[in-house]
Amino acid sequence: MTSRLHVINEEKIFSNNLSSQLNQWQLSNSGFNYNVLSVFGSQSTGKSTLLNKLFGTSFDVMDESQRRQTTKGIWMCKALDIPLLVMDVEGTDGRERGEDQDFERKSALFSLAASSVLLINMWEHQVGLYQGANMGLLKTVMEVNFSMFIANSNSDNTEKPPKTLLLFIIRDHLAITPLDNLRTTLTNDIENIWNSVSKPENLTEANLSDYFDLDFVTLPHKVLQPEEFDQQTLRIRNNYFSDKDSKEFALKPEYHRKIPADGLSHYLETIWDKVQNNKDLDVPTQQELLAQYRCDEIASETLKIFHNRIISVKKPVEIGKFVPELGKVMRDAEKEALEMFDDIAFRYAKPVYDKKREELVDSIRTTLSPLYISQVRNLHKKAIDNFKKELHTRLKSDSYDFSNVVKESSQHHIETFVEQANEITLQGTDWSYIETLEQLKLDIDTVSAECRSEELLKLIKQLDRTIQKEAGEFVEVCLNHPDTDMWDKVLGRFNALLDRSKTSYNMKASKLNSTQKEIDATTGSLLRRAWISLRNKIEEQCSEAILLFRLRSIFEDKFRYDNKGIPRVWRPSDDIELIYTDAKEHTLQLLKLYRSIQPQDEEKVFSYPQLDDTVQDIIRVSDEEESYNYEESLQVLGEAKEAQLAARFKKDADAIYVEAKRSVVSSISKIPLWFYVALLVLGWNELWAILSNPIYLTLSLLGLVTAYFVYTLNLGGPISTILVTVGKEVNRIIVEKMVNLQAETRDTAPTGTGKNSDTLNADTNS
């Protein structure tokens, strides 16, 4: 949303700030690449609201509870993302001005002279009315249109003035009366007004379409149909003012007044003076006109040279780089430009020369002001960056006083900032860097606090990583050998680790000038983080998979090994059921130790510190640490999870038990001796045939030896791979030979057939 300007106030005085406001809107150098639009309509019909919706402007809107005049005079604002200047004209037929309709006529004439498009805002129920539809005002516009723009034309002049688009926006359209019917009614009314207007003798046959184009669009009710209203407003913006390829695009070149943007301010001021004087236009003298033209021309050339002079420093400054010689470059460029202007322009009318020189100075200062602001920002950024670097560099040393480091470094960089900011401040300007200097001081304090917090946090994280590493090792060792004092061992080693970490932290935190209160607060945070890390390691070691594996290992050690650690070889005389029951009950008893963290020695219980509010001001506390529940963290296994683990363990134990029972059964089951006697009797002939035949015996021995080596050296896989490869290659060669043979046969068959045919034909002829 852009700022607005009161171009003509209620006292009919033209604003002197339009030129600077155009610079602020970044339109001064747009040439003809801009347009002007004005809105007409009765008072309190929502003109300002419509413009704000259409163009993203910031005009004041009416308080509907009072329904009094909101827009007084003429306001101007730039449309959002469109090179379009929008003028909000005071509403017509207002009770505040009563019978005084002079301003309405003058504002209408001013808008006509300035605008490419006149947007006429009316309600649907006003269509067909004379005053409500502003027909009287339109008649005045058309009459003076001739006197202002066409009166000086003659029959030999073929150039026509630019046309004007009258865009009627019909509000609160209920779609009962079609738009075509409303268009017809309004068009007939406007043509009747045109026909009744007095025209110059040489333009009595002029048509309305020669000077005005008409277009009509409707809008739904804003209150009753807000979504449809917003959609239609967006469509009008896109089709009429944004999309140049749209058939409905309103900002066409034929409507442009052909006034360059840099001359718009003077042009509008002149037009308002003409409108104010109405009949006898106050035309400047030829001398003043020449002075204005030449001074503008000289100033334009001067500004070109000035811009070329500073272009080398403009871009680096705008992209955030600090230019050391910027102050000297700005002063030299301004001095050179003014001397060049004075050498030539002083010969012309002094009032015009003085005014144009002031405008040139304002233009130069307006151009340099953004560079100054950007350079001051760059100085601010440079000071902060250098302060951070110096602070971090000096904090890396083994011995330092944090407060002295901050004080010395901040003072140095603030003095450097002031010195460099004074160097780029031009005399005679109201430029100031005080606000940025105050912000720099605040930012330095913020950086110091952040650096201190970062150092503390870095220290805590470093200790936290050490705690995580060491805790992970002894937690795994202790939990892998569960017994009644398992948690005493874990917490004992954990407390010893915390004592070492606290000692290391207190020593290093003292270098940051931390008070005892701050050390106590951050130490509490360190202890909380350490407990969370320990608890995470315990949770990791008590996961379902790891704990189930651990239970099975304990059971197997108890079940498969005797008291001396010797593996059991199950015999039929062993009481497997009793050993199984003892091992299972022993393992299930150990499972109960994992339920919660309960040491036998109360002195080893961890004292979980409460979170102090001071920690929030010193270091960043994570949400997990802030909302952590210590009492709940003591519970490792829930009842449901413990029951599930016990059930799964029993299944694994049952499987091991069944396996042991099967090994006993398999050792009992043996092949009977009579089977081998029968095998020898029935296979004696075959065995004797092999033993009595040297060839069979040799082949059999070779086969047995080969099989032995293949099995021993594990060559079965490679040999099978080689055989498969050889088989494929043999198959490929055979197929290739057969294909070639078939091809040779097919090639020789036609020749033999032809020869036999010739012989047969010869015999037949004989």
Residue 660: its pLDDT value, please?
79
> What CA–CA distance (Å, rounded) separates 39 from 47?
7
Digit-coded pLDDT (tens) for 235-261 = 999 999 999 999 999 999 888 877 667
Q: Known binder of ligand: residue 44?
A: yes
Mean pLDDT in order along the chain per 10 residues (766 residues):
84 86 86 86 81 89 60 87 90 58 76 87 78 69 63 47 86 83 87 81 79 90 88 92 91 81 74 68 41 78 86 82 82 86 75 85 85 86 87 72 78 86 82 86 84 76 82 83 84 84 77 70 79 85 85 84 80 81 85 83 74 58 68 82 85 84 61 74 80 84 83 75 85 88 75 45 41
Residue 291: its pLDDT value, please?
62
Q: Known binder of ligand: residue 589?
A: no
Residue 75: its pLDDT value, please?
92
Q: Known binder of ligand: residue 42?
A: yes
Question: 718: left (phi > 0), else alpha (psi -120 to 50), else beta?
Answer: alpha
Q: Known binder of ligand: residue 766?
A: no
For helices 516-541 and 434-480, the axis angle rounded to 10 degrees is 40
Residue 529: its pLDDT value, please?
81
Q: Known binder of ligand: residue 511?
A: no
Residue 210: its pLDDT value, please?
83
Residue 483: its pLDDT value, please?
83
Sign of CA dihedral 117, 122, 127, 132: negative
Residue 610, judged by CB atoms within 10 A of its CB (0-12, 13-18, 19+), counts as exposed
Residue 148: its pLDDT value, please?
55
Residue 671: its pLDDT value, please?
60
Return contacts of 368-374, CB within 8 angstroms, 24+ apart: 368/310, 368/330, 368/334, 368/426, 369/429, 369/431, 370/318, 371/310, 371/313, 371/314, 371/317, 371/318, 371/326, 371/330, 372/330, 372/424, 372/425, 372/426, 372/431, 374/317, 374/318, 374/320
Residue 167: its pLDDT value, please?
92
Residue 156: its pLDDT value, please?
46
Digit-coded pLDDT (tens) for 177-232 = 788 888 888 888 888 888 887 777 777 778 888 888 999 999 998 888 889 999 99
Q: Known binder of ligand: residue 43?
A: yes
> Which ranges in 319-401 belong to alpha helices (H)?
326-345, 350-395
